[in-house]
Chains A and B, each alone.
Chain A
Amino acid sequence: MHSFSELIVGDVLVAPFISYAVAALAVFLALRPILHLCGFDKLFSNPGLAELSLYVTILGLLTVAV
């Protein structure tokens, strides 16, 4: 069973989901230059929605795998 642990800053507990959301955002931003090189924007009629889907995918993968 996968367990989730809180991030502790000082004495403040941060919910695991927040850590995953921030980590997914960092991974997503790091991927952006590669996406541009791949012509990601030109592959979809609504690139914004495609980027959101990619972010959700990364978030899901991180939550399951890490």
Chain B
Amino acid sequence: MTTATILRPLSFAFAPLSAWAFGVRIWVAVVVGLAASFWLELEAPASAAVTVAILAVPTRGGALDKARFRLVATIIGVTAAIVIVALFSQTRDLMLAVFAGWVGLCVFAAGLLDGNHAYAAVLSGYTVALIAIQQLDAPEHVFESGMARGAAIAVGVAAIAVVNDLLAAPDSFPLLASRLAALHQRVRDYARPAHRDTDVATAAELLRDIAALRPEIASLATESASGSIRSAAARSTAVALVAAVHAARALKAVVAATDPAQDGMIVATVPSPASAWASRESLRRISEVREGLAALNAGHRPHWVWRMPLYRSRAIAAAAGLRAAAYLVLASGFFVLVGWPSAEVSLSLVALTIGLGAVSPNPQGFTVAAFIAAPIAAFLAGTLEFLILDGVTEFPLLALALAPFVIGAIVAATRPHPMVASLGRLNLIFILVILSPSNPQSYNANSFLFTVLFLCTGVGLLLAAQTIIPPESNGRRQHWIMGSVRRDFELVLSKHDRRLAPEEAMFRDATRIGQIPASGASHRDNAVLTQALAYFDRAAAIRLGRESVARLAETSLSRLAADAQEALAAEDTRRLREVDLALKNAASAGSALAEEISGEFTLAAIVIDAARHAAPPAMETVS
């Protein structure tokens, strides 16, 4: 008998030590960023501290990658701000309308991207707010303001990069490798026995979890000298995992078709040649995953390199972009009508919240979290400025006083509860925005109250605007995504999707399934997921079948290749089985390739039939 000991991570005050270490790193980076900004006498030293807060990512590679995009997006945003101000500085209303359009365009672009690319898109949008809109009454200072912000951001980026290196922030790849290994185990479990009832939800969840790693895998490239190699290995592993899920589903379909009594209970001794072939395919895919993981851990280039194409719905992105523009128009209209002085600060905070919300899974939920976080941050920043610091001018005291607020917010941000994590992250940013450390600190209660008022008003206005024009419903988003599933499937049948390898196309389909807003709990969600997975299986079977056809076309059996091609284009499984029989005859004459391709065609026919059976045409009205 063997016993296993599970080592629990060391913890202190209900949080793991790694979270405290992360908090200390960010605090040191904030202090270093502020010290450098004060020493260089930058005009906007608070921007350096806020940059560190925004780049607060637990791993070194993640922070570096985000920093890279932050720098690029700031350059784009500053350029856009200068152009907008140059063209429209004489017409305030038109300038606000163009600004709303620019933010809408950036949110649309963010909707077509993911990870740090999407963050860069929204940052390009709200940088215009922070530079052009805050200088609405003094357009001649836009260039200086942009330079000041750019310099502070560069200092913040350098501070967090140096501190992460000096304090040995953990690398991304071991964590990523452990996540991929856990998914590998889940896929292997999925390929084993499963209940048909939970099959759809399990498969959809697996594909969603694999696709969700895409931004993290992409950011691996900047981490170290071997980052791009490890990123390629992780990409190949993730794509192989999706292919393994398809292979497991094919195996289940074969078992269900050849021996319904064994449905949900795949045993080692499979009876039919089709089952044997499907088992071999499943094992081959699993071993591809294993090879990818080994390459990732060793830092070697994998034997094959796949891309990770991303699916994004243009309709959903356009709807989000239009809404973002509408929210800004509503907020601008409100401020123009009430005629408050310095309302541009509030408007720029509306733009910032819209931007950051656009890259979160639930924009309205993000605004609610910001609405709760704003008064908490105001209270904490007020305590820090007027009770703890209360007029001190020594930098070491500022550094010490910041420690509990920064470290506490970071520890809260690492908590598993999503609301606590959001509040922690938002509080870290808001506290630094409200405190706005400068040299010397003004300790102006009037300015503090105005900033708090602008922050709360801005977030409150956005919440009101989102209540008047709510985000797109889940039903509508499901409808758009399923529409694209059907359109893309038509392209597969008409052979117009040849840009990607079959495995890469499977990954793209997996990212689409991952974006379907469905938990699988309701009957409707389950029906939508069933239909999406059925199309996933059919498209994958046809693409893999076409690959076999291409190999067959190069042999003396090319006449059968033409037949198989037509059968696949029409999803004519009967004809495909006839080709399969002809190939089996050729195989009995000693052709190993014919035997192999015959197995692949059998599998394709069974998978297509099973997928059609799982989501009959009548089901297509669901979405």
Q: Hey, which bits of chain A sit against chain B, CB under 8 A?
A: 32-33, 35-36, 40-42, 46-49, 51-52
* B168–A41 touching, CB < 8 Å: no
* B164–A36 touching, CB < 8 Å: no
Q: Which residues of B contact A42 (CB under 8 A)?
A: 299
How many cross-chain pairs have Cβ atoms below 8 Å apart between A and B? 37
* A52–B225 touching, CB < 8 Å: no
Instruction: Pick the contact of A41: B60, B161, B162, B299 (CB < 8 A).
Output: B299
* A52–B224 touching, CB < 8 Å: no
B150-172, CB < 8 A from A: 161-162, 164-166, 168-169, 171
Contact A46-B168, Cβ < 8 Å, known A41-B225, A51-B225 = yes
C-alpha spacing A48/B165, complex, angstroms: 5
Q: Which residue of B lies closest to A52 (CB)?
A: B165
C-alpha spacing A36/B166, complex, angstroms: 21
Number of B interface residues in the complex (CB < 8 A): 15
Q: Hey, which bits of chain B sit against chain A, CB under 8 A?
A: 60, 161-162, 164-166, 168-169, 171, 224-226, 228-229, 299
27 A/B residue pairs, CB under 8 Å, sorted by A: A32-B225, A32-B228, A33-B225, A33-B228, A35-B225, A36-B225, A36-B226, A36-B228, A36-B229, A36-B299, A40-B225, A41-B224, A41-B225, A42-B299, A46-B165, A46-B168, A47-B225, A48-B60, A48-B164, A48-B165, A48-B168, A48-B169, A48-B171, A49-B168, A51-B165, A51-B224, A52-B166
Q: Which residues of A contact B224 (CB under 8 A)?
A: 41, 47-48, 51
* B169–A41 touching, CB < 8 Å: no
Q: In the complex, how many angstroms separate the beta carbon of A46 from the nearest chain B beta carbon? A: 5
Q: In the complex, how many angstroms separate the beta carbon of B144 from the nearest chain A beta carbon? A: 11
C-alpha spacing A48/B167, complex, angstroms: 10
Q: Which residues of A contact B228 (CB under 8 A)?
A: 32-33, 36
C-alpha spacing A33/B299, complex, angstroms: 12
Q: Which residues of A contact B169 (CB under 8 A)?
A: 48
* B166–A49 touching, CB < 8 Å: yes
* B226–A49 touching, CB < 8 Å: no
Q: Which residue of A lies closest to B301 (CB)?
A: A36
Q: Which residues of A contact B299 (CB under 8 A)?
A: 36, 41-42
Q: Which residue of A lies closest to B223 (CB)?
A: A48
Residue from B60, B161, B164, B224 having most chain A Cβ neighbours under 10 A? B224
C-alpha spacing A8/B168, complex, angstroms: 38
Q: Which residue of B lies closest to A40 (CB)?
A: B225
Q: In the complex, how many angstroms separate the beta carbon of B395 from the nearest chain A beta carbon? A: 23
Q: Which residue of A lies closest to B168 (CB)?
A: A46
Q: Which residues of B contact A47 (CB under 8 A)?
A: 224-225
C-alpha spacing A32/B228, complex, angstroms: 10
Say whether chain A's binding surface is mostly helix, strand, loop, or mixed.
helix
C-alpha spacing A52/B64, complex, angstroms: 12
Q: Which residues of B contact A52 (CB under 8 A)?
A: 161-162, 165-166
Q: Sorted from nearest, which 3 A-B pairs have the closest CB atoms?
A: A35-B225, A52-B165, A48-B165
Q: Which residues of A contact B168 (CB under 8 A)?
A: 46, 48-49
4 additional contacts (CB under 8 A) given A33-B228, A49-B168: A40-B225, A41-B299, A47-B225, A52-B166
Q: Which residue of A lies closest to B227 (CB)?
A: A32
Q: Which residues of A contact B166 (CB under 8 A)?
A: 49, 52
Q: Which residue of A lies closest to B221 (CB)?
A: A32
Q: Which residues of B contact A33 (CB under 8 A)?
A: 225, 228
Q: In the complex, how many angstroms separate the beta carbon of A1 from the nearest chain B beta carbon? A: 25
Q: Which residues of B contact A48 (CB under 8 A)?
A: 60, 164-165, 168-169, 171, 224
Q: In the complex, how many angstroms separate the beta carbon of B332 from the nearest chain A beta carbon? A: 31
C-alpha spacing A35/B228, complex, angstroms: 12
Q: Which residues of A contact B161 (CB under 8 A)?
A: 52
Q: In the complex, how many angstroms separate the beta carbon of B151 from the nearest chain A beta carbon? A: 9
C-alpha spacing A48/B168, complex, angstroms: 7
Q: Which residue of B lies closest to A56 (CB)?
A: B162
Q: Which residue of A lies closest to B171 (CB)?
A: A48
C-alpha spacing A32/B223, complex, angstroms: 11
Q: In the complex, how many angstroms separate the beta carbon of B457 from the nearest chain A beta carbon? A: 36
Residue from B165, B169, B171 having most chain A Cβ neighbours under 10 A? B165
C-alpha spacing A46/B60, complex, angstroms: 12
C-alpha spacing A35/B169, complex, angstroms: 21
* B165–A41 touching, CB < 8 Å: no
Q: Which residue of A lies closest to B143 (CB)?
A: A12
C-alpha spacing A7/B229, complex, angstroms: 35
C-alpha spacing A58/B226, complex, angstroms: 19
Q: Which residues of A contact B162 (CB under 8 A)?
A: 52
C-alpha spacing A1/B15, complex, angstroms: 56
Q: Which residues of A contact B171 (CB under 8 A)?
A: 48
C-alpha spacing A46/B226, complex, angstroms: 14
C-alpha spacing A47/B164, complex, angstroms: 12
Q: In the complex, how many angstroms separate the beta carbon of B72 from the nearest chain A beta carbon? A: 13
Q: Which residue of A lies closest to B161 (CB)?
A: A52
C-alpha spacing A36/B226, complex, angstroms: 5
C-alpha spacing A49/B165, complex, angstroms: 5
C-alpha spacing A20/B164, complex, angstroms: 23
C-alpha spacing A52/B160, complex, angstroms: 12
Q: Which residues of A contact B60 (CB under 8 A)?
A: 48
Q: In the complex, how many angstroms separate the beta carbon of B447 from the nearest chain A beta carbon? A: 31
C-alpha spacing A52/B225, complex, angstroms: 11
C-alpha spacing A41/B223, complex, angstroms: 11
Q: In the complex, how many angstroms separate the beta carbon of A28 from the nearest chain B beta carbon? A: 10
Q: In the complex, how many angstroms separate the beta carbon of B387 from the nearest chain A beta carbon? A: 38
Q: Which residue of A lies closest to B170 (CB)?
A: A48
C-alpha spacing A52/B169, complex, angstroms: 13
C-alpha spacing A46/B224, complex, angstroms: 11
C-alpha spacing A33/B228, complex, angstroms: 9
Q: In the complex, how many angstroms separate the beta carbon of B41 from the nearest chain A beta carbon? A: 13
